[in-house]
Amino acid sequence: MKKILFIGAGEFQIDGIRRANELGFHTIAIDGDSEAVGKIEADEFYNINVKCNNEILELARDNMVDGCVAIASEVSMGAMAYVNSKMGLNGYPSELIEIAHDKKKYYSLFEKNKIKVPKTIVFKDNGALAKLDKNKSYIIKPSKGSGSRGVKRSNNIHNFNFDDYHIAYIGKEEEIIIQELIIGKEMTVDGFIIDKNFHLLAVSEEMNDLEKGYTFSSELVFPPEWIEPKNYKNIVAICNQVVDSLNINCTGPMHLEFILTPDGEYFIIDFSLRGGGFDVFTKIIEKTSNVNILDLYILSSLGEEVPSPITTHFNPVTLSFLYPEKAGKIKKINGIELEGKHKDYYLKFLHSVNMYISEPESGKQRYAYFICWGKNYQDIFKRRAWVKEQISLEIDDE
């Protein structure tokens, strides 16, 4: 029986562990949380921090694992790639993950390969601002990682407090980067690479609450109603340029975020060699594309031959996030009885009663998310509105 090691055993990894069990493989999972929800699903569980590369490698060697995966987790990818590289396993090696984790590296590489990315500079001191137009808006973000962490929009870059920002968001071996603001429709793209070809499995339009100045998502619609065949064709072509520029010759997932401008230009604003979070990888991709990406990922990581996925059309799905209106201690959660999977929606709460929650400044302040699916947009949008009406927080002020 083949053995597969899961780096991370949290809420967004548990479906993968279950599926590997169903496929008849021996599952080993590690997580820094000794009570991770995937603990009871795996055949073996070890309480190891996902950043402890050498300890994880020792475990993998002792168990002679046949494959190693990190499902929808940026922080787990380093250890996964380390194990893959040291043991010669299938999947992404360390050198690829290092590039995917460093925005400076992949923006530069993409630009050299004529893939459009926003103009980007590294902030060293205030002298870096001299060439920036004080009348334009810019995006500030950490140089490493992915997602909404630390992403800020500034409408007056010369008055932005970089000292406070550095303290709040910039970790060891990270830098602050500043990008031109690209105006257009923000999109997420997920797919799978097989034989150096990118196979598109999910496209969404990402909406932010612009009135509140959020740079993080409030909702994603898979696929957007306005999308046309030419958009799919253009996205696949750009994604294959990315595959070529990185010389990816192994199988695995790929996640990107684009801005589609009114002029029809596609700018890559974020990139990772993982699947989308918040159950995009584990639930939504299969619902929108009818392709079981978990099977592709698990089997390919074990060296099994996998067929190229065929998607003839994309079914509509929505992913909605809920944020608190104010900071404080959660006194009551209205709608908690609806949590779980239902016929046409799935709801998950990320906070519980008596927990403290702060005002939204990134995706970390989401207190719940829910997925709606069905045959048409009209029914899904009605269901989305109904679910949202049932849910609210009662919060004691600070």
Nearest Cα residue to 314 out of 294, 286, 342, 282: 286
Q: Which residue is associated with the tokens 């890559």?
A: 268
Q: Residue 273 corresponds to which tokens in the numbers above? A: 């060699």
Asked whether residue 60 carries a pLDDT value surpassing 90, the answer given is: yes
For residue 346, give the 3-state DSSP assignment.
strand
How do the domains of the chain map onto residue ranges?
A: 3-89, 119-180, 183-315, 318-396
- Residue 241 to residue 290: CA distance in whole angstroms: 25
Q: Residue 197 corresponds to which tokens in the numbers above? A: 């070809």
Tell me whether domains 183-315 and 318-396 share a fold: yes
Q: Is the pTM of this model over 0.85?
A: yes
> From residue 193, how far is each of 190, 198, 252, 345 by CA, in Å?
10, 5, 5, 29
Nearest Cα residue to 10 out of 65, 60, 71: 71
- Residue 307 to residue 341: CA distance in whole angstroms: 29
36-40, 206-210, 212-216, 358-362, range with greatest mean pLDDT? 36-40
Strands 328-334 and 356-357, sheet pairing: antiparallel
Query: Are residues 185 and 224 in contact, defined by beta-carbon separation less than 8 angstroms?
Result: yes
Structurally, at CATH architecture level, domain 318-396 sits in 2-Layer Sandwich (3.30)
According to CATH, the superfamily of the domain at 183-315 is ATP-grasp fold, B domain (3.30.470.20)
Strands 138-142 and 152-154, sheet pairing: antiparallel
CATH class of the region 3-89 = alpha beta
312-353 per-position pLDDT tens digit: 999 999 999 999 989 999 999 999 999 999 999 999 999 999
Q: Residue 334 corresponds to which tokens in the numbers above? A: 């209205």
pLDDT band at 398 (very low <50, low <70, confident <90, very high): low
DSSP conformation letters of 277-325: TTTIIIIIHHHHHS--HHHHHHHHHTT---PPP--S----EEEEEE--S
Nearest Cα residue to 241 out of 103, 111, 81: 111
262-306 per-position pLDDT tens digit: 999 999 999 999 999 999 999 999 999 999 999 999 999 999 999
